[in-house]
């Protein structure tokens, strides 16, 4: 086993550094999770087929109807990656990194999807332009506004995780604070059923918190070493996650289906993340995995409603299996184009602009006490010091007055 050891538990630099290998297996796991969701939407939902998908894919659907678990895998990876990317960064840099990473491709996907389903509204449609504009905030769910694309609800979950973890980043990411964050967030999640609080439910997210928490702990194992405490938190997170699987199965199917396959996929995802954290996949350095991982986000953003619209238009002309296979290839190509010509260049420009903005905030946010001291120093330098006339003796201190600086002074 190899551990990164890229810093001390308190966030300080390690005394002896060595370059940790890039975890390209995470990129591979990301694209697998994305394809699970894509295949689920194309083969397990009525969507653009206009009829029961069991009639279209009677055998394939028995497996692909569990593809929604790819979302849970995303959350598990996200806990790992966000903790890794936030380590040693100030809050401003953390915010810049997250905003410039997710918003450029997201904005492009909103306008692309809205344009497609406005021109061809057979599957889905946009009610009005206000819906599109509100979606640009990524917090449309908080306002009760429908998502332009069905997958965008997961981005609101991610965004809330970013906001909560920003509390840790603002105080300086350390081993102790990450463990405390995981413990408190887990406690909040298990309190939701009895608390009857919409606000607590909104931020505790009991169905998804265990995945983020486990991901954070897996990163701590990777960065330092596995301990009984971290394994305990991961084990508790797995049990809570499995408890929530039946609810997720019911949310994603119209008929009762076994929950065991979904639970097996969740357990497998935890096992794979554990092996990644322990360094068993460090030797895998296939470059194509990095490229494939880069396509994950744009593919996820554009595939559902656009894909269903294409299926609706071509279902009478192309057999189902070639149609789905060809559509996935087209979506991967579109994702590469978005990543290459939208996400990367716009992300860099946004990062530079936001970085300049953060630097301006820091430059003009000196503590008030420092500003007062500087002002007093300037006034003192401008006003001449009053001195006693030469040759005149200082008056003796009065017997009943305590000299300044005496230990008896109040």
Determine, yes or no, domain membership for 72. Answer: yes
- Who's near 314: CB < 8 A, 6+ residues apart? 323
Are the C-beta atoms of residues 168 and 178 closer than 8 Å to each other?
yes
Q: What is the pLDDT of residue 380?
A: 53
Are the C-beta atoms of residues 175 and 83 closer than 8 Å to each other?
no
Determine, yes or no, domain membership for 394. Answer: no
DSSP 340: I
- The span from the CA of 162 to the CA of 169, in Å, is 10
Overall average pLDDT of the 289-295 stretch: 94
- The span from the CA of 169 to the CA of 305, in Å, is 36
- What number of helices (H) and strands (E) belong to the chain? 17, 0
How big, in percent rounded to 5, are the helix, strand and coil portions of the chain?
A: 70, 0, 30
Determine, yes or no, domain membership for 1. Answer: no
Question: For residue 20, which of 44, 4, 33 has the smallest C-alpha distance?
Answer: 4
Task: Dump pLDDT digits (tens) for 302-322.
Answer: 999 999 999 999 999 999 999
Domain count, the chain: 1
- The span from the CA of 88 to the CA of 202, in Å, is 29
pTM to 2 decimal places: 0.86
Determine, yes or no, domain membership for 368. Answer: no
The proportion of the chain whose per-residue pLDDT surpasses 90, expressed as a percent, equals: 79
- Who's near 241: CB < 8 A, 6+ residues apart? 72, 210, 211, 214, 266, 270
- The span from the CA of 58 to the CA of 63, in Å, is 10
* DSSP calls for 69-114: HHHHHHHHHHHHHHHHHHTT--HHHHHHHHHHHHHHHHHHHHHHHH
Task: Dump pLDDT digits (tens) for 202-223.
Answer: 999 999 999 999 999 999 999 9
**Buried residues in 236-247 as b, exposed as e (16+ CB within 10 A):** bbbebbbebbee
Determine, yes or no, domain membership for 398. Answer: no
Task: Dump pLDDT digits (tens) for 239-284.
Answer: 999 999 999 999 998 778 999 999 999 999 999 999 999 999 999 9
Overall average pLDDT of the 22-47 stretch: 95
Determine, yes or no, domain membership for 381. Answer: no
Determine, yes or no, domain membership for 202. Answer: yes
Are the C-beta atoms of residues 215 and 181 closer than 8 Å to each other?
no
Looking at every residue in the chain, the average pLDDT score rounds to 88
| Domain encompassing residue 171 | 24-363
Plot region of 23 (φ>0 → left; ψ -120 to 50 → alpha; else → beta) = beta
Determine, yes or no, domain membership for 396. Answer: no
Are the C-beta atoms of residues 301 and 105 closer than 8 Å to each other?
yes
């Amino acid at each position: 086993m190899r551990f990164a050891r890229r810093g001390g538990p308190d966030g300080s630099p390690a005394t002896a550094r060595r370059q940790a290998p890039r975890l390209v297996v995470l990129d591979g796991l990301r694209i697998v999770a994305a394809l699970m969701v894509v295949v689920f939407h194309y083969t397990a939902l009525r969507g653009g087929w206009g009829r029961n998908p069991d009639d279209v894919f009677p055998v394939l659907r028995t497996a692909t109807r569990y593809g929604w678990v790819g979302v849970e895998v995303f959350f598990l990876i996200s806990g790992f990656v966000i903790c890794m990317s936030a380590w040693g960064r100030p809050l401003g840099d953390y915010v810049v990194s997250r905003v410039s990473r997710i918003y450029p491709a997201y904005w492009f996907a909103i306008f692309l999807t809205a344009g497609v389903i406005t021109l061809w509204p057979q599957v889905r449609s946009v009610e009005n332009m206000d819906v599109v504009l509100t979606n640009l905030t990524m917090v449309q769910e908080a306002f009760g506004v429908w998502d332009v694309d069905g997958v965008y609800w997961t981005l609101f979950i991610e965004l809330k995780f970013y906001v909560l973890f920003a509390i840790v980043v603002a105080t300086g990411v350390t081993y102790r604070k990450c463990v405390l964050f995981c413990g408190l967030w887990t406690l909040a999640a298990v309190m939701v059923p009895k608390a009857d609080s919409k606000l607590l439910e909104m931020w505790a997210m009991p169905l998804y918190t265990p995945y983020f928490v486990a991901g954070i702990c897996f990163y701590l194992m990777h960065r330092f070493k596995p301990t009984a405490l971290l394994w305990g938190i991961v084990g508790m997170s797995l049990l809570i996650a499995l408890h929530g699987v039946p609810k997720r199965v019911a949310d994603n199917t119209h008929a009762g289906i076994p929950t065991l396959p979904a639970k097996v996929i969740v357990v497998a995802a935890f096992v794979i993340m554990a092996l990644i954290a322990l360094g068993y996949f460090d030797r895998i350095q296939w470059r194509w995995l990095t490229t494939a991982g880069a396509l994950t986000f744009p593919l996820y953003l554009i595939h559902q409603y656009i894909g269903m619209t294409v299926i609706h238009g071509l279902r009478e002309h192309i057999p189902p299996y070639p149609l789905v296979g060809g559509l996935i290839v087209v979506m991967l190509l579109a994702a590469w184009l978005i990543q290459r010509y939208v996400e990367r260049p716009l992300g860099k420009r946004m990062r530079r602009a936001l970085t300049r903005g953060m630097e301006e905030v820091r430059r003009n946010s000196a503590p008030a006490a420092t500003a007062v001291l500087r002002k007093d120093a300037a006034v003192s330098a401008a006003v001449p010091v009053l001195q006693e006339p030469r040759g005149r003796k200082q008056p003796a201190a009065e017997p009943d007055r305590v000299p300044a600086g005496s230990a008896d002074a109040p």
